[in-house]
Chains A and B, each alone.
Chain A
Amino acid sequence: METIKIALAKGRLADLSLELLEQIGISFSSYYEKTRKLTFISDDGHYELILVKAMDVGTYVENGAADIGVAGKDTLLEAGADVFEVIDLGFGRCEFAVAGEPGTELSAQQSLTIGTKYPKITNDYFQAQGRQVETIKLNGSVELAPLVGLSDVIVDIVETGSTLKENNLEVIETMLSISARLVVNKASFKTKGTAIRPVIDQVKSIVDEKGRVTNGN
């Protein structure tokens, strides 16, 4: 049987995904040895795990470098990957929100400048409201932008809100909630269906059993 390649984002999403895969009998013991390797073969030899940057999971899967992947909805939306998005895994749940200094009114600002790691999602969101905004693409420490006057507000992922609070910012508007998604390459799903579909079906039944909190988007 041909090996199935699974792309996971380094970090917490990878750990949660591996936990899930173990429940359906796919384990990667070598992953837990302290190494700096980026690829691992499953214990049964049928699967290959590749570790990539969160933002790149969609790209790997879209281009068929990986057959399956787990990626946050945020990265899928931002990168606009053309993949099958077959399961909402329910973990890695958080909110996209507009945040700014307390009391900021979005409608009061005639021209709104927004600092964000996600310019595409930001633009799409405001465009859908018929509002033109200026985005400034940042790569980290987004909270700093309104404090030093780089932008009026920021758009970012909010999990607990504690980072915002520490920087004297607050959520002004929640945009959409996101979670981890299982994505599949469009061609692989067809050409390697016999190997991939059972994996999908098993993961799905586990996720469905746990119950899913519905979210808007």
Chain B
Amino acid sequence: MALNQPLPQGVTDLYAQDYELKQTLIDRLKQLYHVYGCQPIQTPTFEYYDLFKNIPGTMDDNQMIKLIDRDGKVLVLRPDATVPIARMASQATSDAPLLNKMYYVTNIFRMESGESDRTSRSFSQVGVEWFDDGRELNDLDMVVLAIKSLKHTGLNAIQLELGQARFFRALMSETDLDAEAEAQIQAKLEAKNEYELSDLLDELNVSQTVKQALLQLPQLFGKPGEVLKQATTLVLNSEMTKALDHLTRLVERLDELGYAEDVSIDLGLVNHLNYYTGVMFQGYIEGYGKPVIQGGRYDQLMTYFNLRTSAIGFGVYVDDLLRIVKQQQAVSLPKPTQAVVMTNDDTIKTAMKLAQQLREYNVVTTLASDQDSINQAELVINVVNQMMVINGQQETYHQLDDVFEKVGLTNGND
């Protein structure tokens, strides 16, 4: 009886061209992060639930995929890349060279409803984390690296949107709302739902000045110049000014470097605000409905690990990127020269040797045993009489040199 085994929801197999393309994308990103001085690292697939539970605001409890260990402790499949890396950095032995700038290629697991999609519960993320000294230069460096990450994959119509966590924080410091009320406000801001936000602010008795400022936030996005100018009219305290100044300087630098077209600003960007403490960014690709890159400065997180350091990082959603790259055919896979060496029982030794030589020339070579369609006489006449299939075309060669010449000519020319 044929076994029909369905896959669980929200996961998928990847093979053939799709997987090759994904690996190509990952390789390009790895190469990029390598030359930026990042070290590759890996953390375990599962860790203790307590690690994530004790850090507020990073992960929704219900979204973690949990397991029970032998001793009854609860484990979770890696629901986030950054927290384990922060843990690792804090536990790295002191005589190890200081781990400060690293990249990862990893799978993230989430208990999403995953009704019909293929990657909601297990998806790949490539990213960079940098435990730095909090300088503005580093903000610039990472924002540029984020832009490059997208462009490096062959996509050009990109939009990296910048926000500043401190702006909203400073604005909220004018109120005495509790965390729950703040979360409600954030949810409305995140949906740019001015109408319900207005009702909510009335309900919460927020002062008129703060209310007016908050109601402006959903529209404060777009071209940096205009947005920042408009934002200055909302400033209620010096912290807000500082946050805007920081963004202004960052944008000016990006301008100078020729990235003006690629960046915009959204001061209504308030998701994951319990986590980010400074510049935040997310990257979009034209024609794709979700952000494909997300990151920012998160200085607070490290204090949970008794580590006094700033931190900035971002993650790239590779599966989404793969979908876009396929759609837009932005990346063509290299087509290597391929050869099939045909042989019968008598010519195996020569055939194997030939195959080996071809492989040394970087030709993708496979062996095939004698087939009916091949003229056997030709194969047996002479050991150097070679029947080969190169790039789909069957040809007969009488000299090995001829084979190499042929291969040398086509090798790597695609």
Does A188 belong to the interface (CB within 8 Å)?
A: yes
- Set of chain B residues within 8 Å of A185, measured between Cβ atoms: 289
Chain A residues, Cβ within 8 Å of B191: 83-85
Once the chains bind, are A193 and B222 in contact (CB under 8 Å)? Answer: yes
Given contacts A86-B218, A191-B159, A216-B199, contact A64 B194 (CB under 8 A): no
B161 and A186 contacting across the interface, CB-CB below 8 Å: no
Q: Is A87 in the interface zone, CB < 8 Å from B?
A: yes
**Chain B CB within 8 A of A217 CB:** yes
A87: chain B residues at CB < 8 Å are: 195
A212 to B194, CA, bound (A): 13
Given that A85-B192, A88-B195, A191-B159 are contacting pairs, would A186 and B264 also be in contact in the complex, using a CB cutoff of 8 Å? Answer: no
* B193 contacts the other chain (CB 8 A): yes
- Interface: A162 (CB within 8 A): no
Is A139 positioned at the interface, with any CB of B under 8 Å from its CB?
A: no
Question: Does A63 count as interface, using CB distance less than 8 angstroms?
Answer: yes
Q: What per-residue 1/0 map shows which CB atoms of A105-136 lie under 8 Å from chain B?
A: 00000000000000000000000000000000
A187→B291 contact, CB < 8 A: yes
Query: Which residues of A sit under 8 angstroms from B222, Cβ to Cβ?
Result: 193, 197
Distance in angstroms between the alpha carbons of A171 and B222 in the assembled complex: 46
Query: CA–CA, A86 to B194, complex, Å?
Result: 7
Are A190 and B195 neighbours in the complex by a CB distance under 8 Å?
no
Closest CB of chain B to A92's CB: distance in Å?
14
- A64-B288 in contact given A191-B157, A193-B222 (Cβ < 8 Å): yes
- CB closest residue in chain B, given A214: B199
Tell me the bound Cα distance from A83 to B222 in angstroms: 17
Q: Does A29 contact B (CB under 8 A)?
A: no
State which size class the interface on B falls in. 20 to 34
CB <8 Å contact, A190 and B161: yes
Tell me which residues from 285 to 325 in chain B have a Cβ below 8 Å from any Cβ of chain A.
Answer: 285-291
CA distance A73 to B121 in the complex (A): 27
Q: Kindly state whether residue A215 has any CB partner on chain B within 8 Å.
A: yes
A217 and B264 in contact, given A63-B289, A187-B291 (Cβ under 8 angstroms): no
**Which residues of B are found within 8 Å of A212, using beta-carbon distances?**
195
Chain B nearest CB from A5 CB (Å) reads: 11
Q: Which of A165-217 contact B (CB under 8 A)?
A: 184-193, 197, 212, 214-217
In whole angstroms, what is the CA distance A155 to B193 when docked?
25
**What mask results when residues 184 to 225 of chain B are scored 1 for a CB within 8 Å of chain A, else 0?**
000000011111100100000000000000000010011000
CB pair B192 A84 closer than 8 Å: yes
- B43 to chain A minimum Cβ distance, whole angstroms, is 28
Interface size class of A (residues with CB under 8 A): 20 to 34
CA distance A216 to B203 in the complex (A): 9
In the complex, A156 has a CB within 8 A of chain B: no
Which of A191, A192, A215 lies at the interface centre, i.e. has the most chain B CB atoms within 10 A of its CB? A191
How far is B199's CA from A63's CA once the two chains are assembled, in angstroms? 28
Q: Which A residues lie within 8 Å of B288 (CB)?
A: 64, 187
Smallest CB-CB separation from A212: which chain B residue?
A: B195
Q: Which residues on A sit within 8 Å (CB–CB) of B192?
A: 84-86, 184, 189
* B289 interface neighbour in A85, A186, A197, Cβ under 8 Å: A186
B139 at the interface (CB under 8 A from A): no
Q: How far is the CA of A87 from the CA of B196 in the complex (A)?
A: 9
A64 to B157, alpha carbons, bound, how many Å?
A: 16
Give B294 Cβ to nearest chain A Cβ, in Å.
12
Tell me how far the C-beta of B147 lies from the nearest C-beta in chain A, rounded to whole angstroms.
14
Q: What is the distance, in angstroms, from A58's C-beta to the closest C-beta of chain B? A: 12
Q: Does A152 contact B (CB under 8 A)?
A: no
Q: In whole angstroms, how far apart are the Cα atoms of A63 and B288 in the complex?
A: 8
Q: Which residue of B lies closest to A183 (CB)?
A: B191
Looking at the assembled complex, report how far the CB atom of A81 sits from the nearest CB atom of chain B, in whole angstroms.
10
Q: In the bound complex, how far is the Cα of B199 from the Cα of A189, in angstroms?
A: 24
B284 within 8 A of partner (CB): yes
Find out whether the CB atom of A88 lies under 8 angstroms from the CB atom of B284: no
Please, how many angstroms separate the alpha-carbon atoms of A30 and B76 in the complex? 55
Complex CA–CA separation, A62 to B289 (angstroms): 7
Complexed CA–CA distance, A210 and B405 (Å) = 79
Chain B residues whose CB sits within 8 angstroms of the CB of A86 once the complex forms:
192-194, 218
Taken together as a complex, chains A and B put the C-alpha atoms of A85 and B285 apart, in Å, by 21
Restricting to A62-95, which residues have a CB under 8 Å from any CB of B?
62-65, 83-88
CB distance from B161 to the nearest CB of A (A): 6
What would 25 A/B residue contacts be, using CB atoms closer than 8 Å? A63-B289, A64-B290, A86-B194, A88-B196, A186-B289, A186-B290, A186-B291, A187-B285, A187-B291, A189-B221, A190-B159, A190-B161, A190-B221, A190-B266, A190-B284, A191-B159, A191-B284, A191-B285, A191-B286, A193-B221, A193-B264, A212-B195, A214-B199, A215-B199, A217-B199
Given A84-B192, A86-B192, A217-B196, 20 further pairs, Cβ under 8 A: A63-B289, A64-B287, A64-B288, A64-B289, A64-B290, A85-B191, A86-B194, A184-B192, A186-B289, A186-B290, A187-B290, A188-B289, A190-B159, A190-B221, A191-B157, A191-B286, A191-B287, A193-B222, A193-B264, A197-B222
